[in-house]
Amino acid sequence: MARPTYSLRCLVLRRTKLGESDVIVTLLAQDGSQVRAVAKGARKPTSSFSSRLELFCVCDLLLVSGKSLDIVKEARLVESNDHLRGDLELMEAASPVVEILDRTTQVGLEDGRLFDMACAALRSLRDSVDPDVLTAAHLLKTLAVLGFRPRFDLCVGCGTAVDLGSAGRYLAFSLVDGGLVCPACRSQHETVLLPHDVVSWSQALLFATFAEVGTFRIPPAVVLDVLRFLQMWVRQHLGVKLKSLDYLIVMSA
């Protein structure tokens, strides 16, 4: 009996070598779920898959259902995003965008916002004033969709609204409880101190569009501190270590 086939628009999150010429591709489907499939012969220079299943590519695929991994039968390139692979700075900024999705999405767990945000972020990196700022914005937005949004607008202890405009130079933040802590509640929570600029810019990145984020001019030291905050947040709430984010922080320091 012939195995069923299905069509899929997807973003390539990761490529893993298999045997002498095959590749396992980890994909983010348009519905936000993760799919893993084998592209046979994809590492051969003459393969039609070689340029269509590169990291960051958006493709329309025809797949055959398999017992453990599906098999790619046809691939049509929708967006190559070759500007990312041809520029080291852009590649460094784009890598955390796909790695967090590789580490957090699951088979059968759908949320189309993840696909749309990732594609928009990768597309916007070309024209961004500071690619690292756009990376930080995507991570914050993705965390919010996944249910791990940091709260910069109220105290997580008592729920009192926090006015960032009148806040001091440093604000108490609880990584465990997920947000800012007012002075009255600070003794009841384990907190770290975040610079005001890190909190205010993180809040702005969380709600701005990628087009707006691409025009932001944030001091490099503040961008680095925002990335370090995200590094701590991801480890605390997702329990994963994003190697590409760690690398980006080292290169930006």
Given a cut of 70, whether residue 166 has pLDDT beyond it is yes
Average pLDDT over residues 157-166: 89
- Please, which residues have CB within 8 angstroms of residue 35's CB and are 6 or more apart in sequence? 8, 10, 26, 27, 28, 29, 63, 70, 107
- Under DSSP, is residue 151 helix (H, G, I), strand (E, B) or coil? strand
Q: Which amino acid is present at 132?
A: D
pTM, entire model: 0.94
Residue 111 token pair: 């949320």
Q: Given this model, what pLDDT does residue 251 score?
A: 93
Tens digits of per-residue pLDDT, 115-140? 999 999 999 998 899 999 999 999 99
Average pLDDT over residues 74-81: 94
What number of residues does the chain have? 253
Given a cut of 80, whether residue 3 has pLDDT beyond it is no
Given a cut of 60, whether residue 76 has pLDDT beyond it is yes
If you average pLDDT over every residue of the chain, what do you get? 93
Q: Given this model, what pLDDT does residue 108 score?
A: 87
Q: Do the beta carbons of residue 57 and residue 75 sit within 8 Å?
A: no
Given a cut of 60, whether residue 216 has pLDDT beyond it is yes
Beta pairing, strands 70-79 & 34-39? parallel
**Closest-CA residue to 137 (of 202, 181, 199):** 202
Tens digits of per-residue pLDDT, 16-65? 999 888 999 999 999 999 999 999 988 888 888 878 899 999 999 999 98
Q: Which residue has the higher pLDDT, 229 or 3?
A: 229
**Closest-CA residue to 97 (of 229, 212, 248):** 248
Confidence of residue 6 (pLDDT cuts 50, 70, 90): very high
- Please, which residues have CB within 8 angstroms of residue 157's CB and are 6 or more apart in sequence? 177, 181, 182, 184, 185, 188, 189
Q: What percent of the chain has pLDDT over 90?
A: 83
Cα–Cα distance, 222 to 199 (Å, whole number): 10
Q: Given this model, what pLDDT does residue 51 score?
A: 83
Residue 99 token pair: 């790695």
Q: Given this model, what pLDDT does residue 48 score?
A: 80
Q: Positive or negative CA dihedral for 126, 129, 132, 133? A: negative
Cα–Cα distance, 81 to 60 (Å, whole number): 15
Q: Which residue has the higher pLDDT, 2 or 26?
A: 26
Q: Do the beta carbons of residue 191 and residue 173 sit within 8 Å?
A: yes
Average pLDDT over residues 211-239: 96
Q: Given this model, what pLDDT does residue 2 score?
A: 60
Confidence of residue 90 (pLDDT cuts 50, 70, 90): very high
Q: Given this model, what pLDDT does residue 135 score?
A: 97
Q: Given this model, what pLDDT does residue 237 score?
A: 96
Q: Given this model, what pLDDT does residue 247 score?
A: 97
